[in-house]
Amino acid sequence: MVPAVFLDRDDTLIANSTLPDHAFRGGRRGDLADPEFVTLLPGVASACARLRAGGYALVVVTNQGVVARGGATLAEVEATNARLESLLPDPQRTGQSLLDRVYSCPYHPNGSVREFAVEHPWRKPCPGMLLAAEAELGLDLARSWLVGDAGRDIEAGRRAGLDEARLLRVGPGQPWSGLPAAVDHILGHD
């Protein structure tokens, strides 16, 4: 069993809050489902490479309620995630990403697309995506970390049973300014 670093997508790995209004589908800021606007935040590529070299599996867990709200299709979200993966090539594994898996939750209880307009155990702050990754990838949650920019990210890690000290919130006003600083902490701790 290997430890993982669970990573939120928007404003943890890629720019979101700083994008122009026309980057978002469905007229709602924050709902990025256009591969053209996927841009890694500074230092993310090297931070992910350092985690991989440190023996961690890298797993993205992202809420994508834009699908439930009718602002984008599941295929558009998957294309956006594929763009992210392509920006993080693994130099040790030709044609593969540093990311082991990307989990997206298209559900939202206030959605307008009937198929996705429900609460779902994958929707953060629920721990479903983390637990699915644990089962599918054989992860050791006791040695795993989570890095995200929102309280729901941290709560999902808590509900999955991750150690409170291994739940790192990044962004303005947080203990870690971004993923590179969080990775320094993770690698310095373990």
pLDDT value at 108 more than 90: yes
The catalytically annotated residue of 10, 31, 149, 153 is: 10
Q: What is the mean pLDDT of residues 144-149?
A: 98
How far apart CA 95 and CA 89 sit, in angstroms, is 7
Domain limits, the chain: 4-189
140 is annotated as an active-site residue: no
pLDDT at 27: 66
10 is annotated as an active-site residue: yes
- The mean of the pLDDT values for the chain is 96
Q: What is the mean pLDDT of residues 156-177?
A: 97
Banded model confidence at residue 26, pLDDT cuts 50, 70, 90: low
Question: For 4-189, which CATH class?
Answer: alpha beta
The catalytically annotated residue of 8, 11, 100, 153 is: 8
pLDDT value at 7 more than 80: yes
